[in-house]
Structure formats: C-alpha cells, structure tokens
Homo-oligomer: A and B are copies of this chain.
Amino acid sequence: MNLVLLEPADYIGEDHVRLQGRRLEHVRKVHRAGIGDELRVGLINAKIGRGRIERIDDSALDMLVELDDEPPAKLPLRLVLALPRPKVLNRTIAAAVSMGISEIDLINSWRVEKAYWKSPRLSMENLQMQAILGLEQAGDTVLPKIRLHRLFTPFVREELPHLIKESLSLVAHPQATGALPRECGGSVVLAIGPEGGFIEQEVQTFCEIGFTVVSLGTRILRVETAVAYLIGRLF
C-alpha cells in the first residue's frame, strides 16, 4: 500500500478522515505508523496528497489530509482480455490497474472454461477490490472501468469496432509472425487470449474488424507478465 485510498464516506470533517478495518490494520502492521507520521493518501477518483496521523489505536485511525496533487496519468490503453482462470484473475487485474490501464474488457473465448464465468471473483465487488489494490500499489486514485462480456461475437463484432477507432489495435497470438511495434505514440487496444491462445476463427474475427496480429516471441508468458512486457514495449 503505497497510497492509502480514501472514500468520501471516510470523512468526519472537512479535512479529517477516520479509517477502520483493512486500511487501519495495514497502517498499523505494515507501515507501523504512529501519531504525527505522514502517509501518502488519495481520494478515490480525485486528488492525492498527504495525511498526518492524529490518532491511531485498535479501533480507528484519524488523519488530517491535504490533497493537492493530480493522480498519475493513465495509459492510453484498452485491454481486451480473455477471462483468465479465477486463480489468476485477481493478480492480473491488480497488476493491470497498477500500470495505469483504465479500460479492461473481460471477454469469452473458445478456450475459456465455462466454469470460470461462475467464479465469485467476477463479482463487481471483488473486481473493484482488486482494482483498489492496484491503485494503492501504484499511488493512483482513479478506478478503471472493468466490463464483462460473456459472448465473444456480439462484443467483438458489434461493440469493439466503435471502441478501436483511431487506436492501434493489436491481438497477441502465439503463432503470429508480425513483430510488436514499439513506442506507438497514440492509443492502443490490446487483445490477449486465454491459456492456449485465441482459436483461428477468433483471430480472424479480430482481423476482420481491423486488428493486427502480433507475436510475443517464442516464450509463453503468464498473462500478467505479458501485459507488463507489452506496456514496456508499446509506451
């Protein structure tokens, strides 16, 4: 937690907040902070700054906060991701958000197991929690938009074409020969398949609406590793 993320409901006065639960525990046990210490804080979807601890005990943490700085810029990147295994989903969302991705579409694909769509981790509550962990890691405050698309074709054929206008649109595919561009300058839409990759027909659909197929090289990377690698390369 490199930034303590505040919600409007935390305010007990104009510049005073009171925290309990997870954030209190973290500040006590990990930061080991005491009265007078300053923490980096930020208000959700708003500015960042400093919080000065005025009280901290078993039951609550009170801070005087001053929020003057803008949160870090987001990446001009929309991530279209075949729904990962539940085990992998949480850390993928947190990692993507920590890097500044602000639009994430989780989509179906032939090789996504049907059972993944029934995971309790797909609740908006859990997805938001993972996003918050990513923001707290990176020092950001602005929640991403995460959407679920249980049907591949309606989303890719009907909705995605409107979302990729004026963006470089790339679909990562193990068998591709096209090299990845570097330092692309503008905005990017990046589609990444499930374990085993998108099937041929899905890749074809992406191509028909204007995507370019690119290779990530001969190594097969975990999805959160691949996303970080691609961001390093593209931006």
Contacts and interface: CB of A to CB of B under 8 A. Distances in A.
Interface of A: 2, 72, 95, 98-100, 137-140, 182-183, 217-222, 224-234
Contacts of A100: 219
Given A72-B217, A232-B232, 6 more contacts: A99-B219, A137-B220, A138-B221, A139-B219, A229-B231, A232-B233
Contact of A95 (B137, B220, B222, B232): B222
A225 B222 contact: no
A233 B224 CA distance: 16
A217 B98 CA distance: 12
Contact of A139 (B218, B230, B234): B218
Choose among A72, A98, A222 the residue with the greatest number of B CB atoms under 10 Å from its CB. Answer: A222
Nearest to A136: B220
Given A228-B232, A232-B228, A222 B182 contact: no
A99 B230 contact: no
Contacts of A182: 182-183
Contacts of A221: 98-99, 137-138, 228
Contact of A219 (B72, B219, B220, B226): B72
Contact of A138 (B99, B220, B228): B220
B2 A220 contact: yes
Given A225-B95, A228-B229, A220 B139 contact: yes
Contacts of A183: 182
Choose among A225, A230, A233 the residue with the greatest number of B CB atoms under 10 Å from its CB. Answer: A225
Contacts of A218: 72, 139
Contacts of A140: 219
A221 B221 CA distance: 18
Contacts of A139: 218-220
